[in-house]
Structure 1
Amino acid sequence: MRYDLDDLRLFVHVVTEGSITAGARRMHLSLPSASARVRALEAQAGLPLLIRERRGIRPTPAGSTLARHAESVLAETTRLDSAVASYTAAPRRPVVLVAGASGMHRLVPRALTTFLRAYPEYDVSVSERPTPDSLRLLADGEADLGIVLHDEAGDTDLRIEQLSEDHLVVIGQAGGVLTGRTGMTYREAAEHPMVGLSQESSLRQWIDRHLPANAPVARYRTQVPDLHSLITLATAGAGLAIAPRPAVTPRPDLDICPLQDSWSLRRHLLAHGTRRSASRRATNALADHIRAAASS
């Protein structure tokens, strides 16, 4: 059987409204035209699809089945139109998002996963930046949104809102020096071999800036460019590591110990840029998805 999409759309409206008249109104059709379309559907199906009553209509079992599948077909058609339109529409300037290492590891991917799925017509340009660089880009109109750290935001004219807390922890292979510990200072961690992030990492730069002048020099067995590699090496026993708590998934082969230094508790903020975005709707929507990712 071959179905006309307008006929299916009309039938869904008729069943939803409980009236051919109301269904015709929603499709901007005359009542005789709508009635003829419904009768043609029944003739094609070879059985009644509607029970006509004095106060309206109700679907037969076959009519209910047709309406349910028609809704799925129409929804899939809408998604198809949107997907094709994303290639044919004029290219839009992407939304520009900047964030530090801890935000890039989990918060940004979660937000992008839901945003890009919900808005196939919009693109996002993402880059990892330390908070001072992010604030500069936002103030200069070169970025739309930024995930920045509270204690480095200082006095700024940018619109800022609270987002989430980010506590640094010490991690290491299960059964090692962290076993049974409920807390550890950086000074204690630095007594053991460590693995760290590279000097270019925004998190590494943040840690180095906050260490006191008399902090011991850690022995880094190796330095890696991203948190995934850092956590993998610490889990394998290569050395202790300092990482953001939200980035570390609990697992049997990994011990997690809160870092007790005063600078270990950080607060993420969502900062809004000054540039006139190509699409304010896209920027606002991405901000909503970032908030939802932070709250989850």
Structure 2
Amino acid sequence: MRYDLDDLRLFVHVVTEGSITAGARRMLLSLPSASARVRSLERHAGVELLIRERRGVRPTPAGVTLLRHARDVLAQTALLEGAVAGYARTSSAPLVLLAGGSAMHRFVPQALVSFLRAHPDVDVTVEECPTPRTVRRLAEGEADLGIIQDDEAADRDLRTEPLGDDSLVVIGRVGGVLAGRGALRYREAAEHPLIGPGRDSSLQRWIDKHVGPHAPAPRYRTHVADLTTVITLAMAGVGLAVVPSRAVAEHTPVETCALQDGWARRRQLLCWGAGTREPSAAVTALARHLRAAAGAEEPTRLDAPPRPEEP
């Protein structure tokens, strides 16, 4: 047997309201049309479904059974429609955002929360990616936005804007070897056991690139995948750690010393992909949420990408 979904909806409304007239009103049908549909449903089922009384209708035992299953069918149909509609709502490919581990640690997640809540019909693919690879992918049009270090996109025809300071500091347990120190050089920190980020992480690559051949070979107690674990281990006194200052939340119980080496002073830039000369409203909105999460001001350059108002 095949049942018409509108007939099942009508039947549910009729039984719920206790009246064919009221059920017809819920379905925006005329009374004759609703009555004809109910009679057709009964003929289709081969059994009486309603007991018609002077003041309304009530279901027969067969009608009670049909009511229960009709509600289940209609509920499952609604779930099916919602699941399929979820794919139809996003009419374009997801935005692609690339960022290093420092940005991924705190403000990228904050930006994603606010952006995805404000734009339920826009999806975002986020990848952790070292700056050189991020720049290459942006230049080749493989990503919409990227967060990079300093001026590593200077030789590319890509638009950038400052997102804020990302300088490095050394952290260790409270009362440990850093107590009372305001700043030190990397060679001093490397005399102590260190906790390192992942060996292939953007931060570890940055450190290895800049410390130079004359720096003491550090002893790493361990390398861990994310900055949260690095900070937790340093806080526990397992070793010192070199991390971005903005990765250390306020009131974190650690000793913090600035690194005096020039390479430790870094800036983060928001970089626009080669395919975003005329960015979509979604890309522009994502950039705005990233600025807000990073605490950066809106760009004022005349050549900055246009920023239409968010809906």
Q: What's the TM-score once normalised by structure 1's chain length?
A: 0.68
In the TM superposition, residue 86 of structure 1 has moved relative to its aligned partner by 4.7
Q: What is residue 173 of structure 1 aligned with on the other side?
A: 173
Q: What is residue 137 of structure 1 aligned with on the other side?
A: 137
- Which consecutive aligned stretches of 4+ in structure 1 deviate over 4 angstroms post-superposition? 82-88, 276-279
Does the aligned pair in 2 maintain the 1:144–1:277 contact within 8 Å? no
Change (3 A) 1:179 1:250: farther
Q: What is residue 24 of structure 2 aligned with on the other side?
A: none
The answer for unaligned runs of 5 or more in structure 2 is 1-81, 297-311
Distance in 2 separating the partners of 1:147 and 1:285: 15
Distance in 2 separating the partners of 1:220 and 1:278: 46
In the TM superposition, residue 250 of structure 1 has moved relative to its aligned partner by 3.4
Distance in 1 separating the partners of 2:272 and 2:244: 23
Give the secondary structure class of the aligned counterpart of 1:102: helix
In the TM superposition, residue 154 of structure 1 has moved relative to its aligned partner by 3.0
Does the aligned pair in 2 maintain the 1:196–1:230 contact within 8 Å? yes
Are 1:116 and 2:116 counterparts? yes
Give the secondary structure class of the aligned counterpart of 2:152: helix
Distance in 2 separating the partners of 1:154 and 1:90: 34
Distance in 2 separating the partners of 1:252 and 1:152: 31
Higher relative contact order, chain-length normalized (CA < 8 Å, sep 6+):
1
User: Amino acid of the residue matched to residue 288 of structure 2?
Assistant: D
Distance in 2 separating the partners of 1:213 and 1:102: 25
User: Amino acid of the residue matched to residue 142 of structure 2?
Assistant: E
Distance in 2 separating the partners of 1:256 and 1:83: 49
Does the aligned pair in 2 maintain the 1:234–1:241 contact within 8 Å? yes
Give the secondary structure class of the aligned counterpart of 2:147: strand
Distance in 2 separating the partners of 1:250 and 1:267: 20
Give the secondary structure class of the aligned counterpart of 1:268: strand
Give the secondary structure class of the aligned counterpart of 1:153: coil
Are 1:228 and 2:193 counterparts? no
Are 1:200 and 2:200 counterparts? yes
Fraction of identical pairs, as percent: 54
Does the aligned pair in 2 maintain the 1:134–1:146 contact within 8 Å? yes
Does the aligned pair in 1 maintain the 2:172–2:240 contact within 8 Å? yes
Q: 1:73-92 alignment to 2 at 5 Å?
A: 86=86, 88-92=88-92
In the TM superposition, residue 162 of structure 1 has moved relative to its aligned partner by 1.6
**Per-residue CA distance 1:53-97 (angstroms, 9 max, x = gap):** xxxxxxxxxxxxxxxxxxxxxxxxxxxxx9996554255311000
Give the secondary structure class of the aligned counterpart of 1:208: helix
In the TM superposition, residue 199 of structure 1 has moved relative to its aligned partner by 1.2
User: Amino acid of the residue matched to residue 137 of structure 2?
Assistant: L
In the TM superposition, residue 278 of structure 1 has moved relative to its aligned partner by 12
Q: 1:26-37 alignment to 2 at 5 Å?
A: none
Q: 1:44-55 alignment to 2 at 5 Å?
A: none
Q: What's the TM-score once normalised by structure 2's chain length?
A: 0.65
Are 1:101 and 2:101 counterparts? yes
User: Amino acid of the residue matched to residue 153 of structure 2?
Assistant: A
Q: 1:1-296 alignment to 2 at 5 Å?
A: 86=86, 88-251=88-251, 253-275=253-275, 280-295=280-295
Give the secondary structure class of the aligned counterpart of 1:287: helix
Distance in 2 separating the partners of 1:88 and 1:133: 32
Distance in 2 separating the partners of 1:83 and 1:160: 39
Structure with greater helix share of residues = 1
In the TM superposition, residue 277 of structure 1 has moved relative to its aligned partner by 9.8
Does the aligned pair in 2 maintain the 1:160–1:269 contact within 8 Å? yes
**Per-residue CA distance 1:186-245 (angstroms, 9 max, x = gap):** 000011111101211111001110112201110001111110110111011110000001
The number of equivalent residue pairs is: 215
Change (3 A) 1:253 1:153: same
Change (3 A) 1:163 1:83: farther
Distance in 2 separating the partners of 1:278 and 1:87: 26
Distance in 2 separating the partners of 1:288 and 1:166: 19
Give the secondary structure class of the aligned counterpart of 1:152: coil
The answer for unaligned runs of 5 or more in structure 1 is 1-81
Give the secondary structure class of the aligned counterpart of 2:106: helix
Distance in 2 separating the partners of 1:188 and 1:151: 28
Give the secondary structure class of the aligned counterpart of 2:269: strand
Change (3 A) 1:287 1:191: same
User: Amino acid of the residue matched to residue 134 of structure 1?
Assistant: T
**Per-residue CA distance 1:239-285 (angstroms, 9 max, x = gap):** 00000011101336311111111111101111110236998111111
In the TM superposition, residue 127 of structure 1 has moved relative to its aligned partner by 0.7
Distance in 2 separating the partners of 1:223 and 1:229: 10
**Per-residue CA distance 1:143-195 (angstroms, 9 max, x = gap):** 00000111423321011112211110001110100111100110000111111
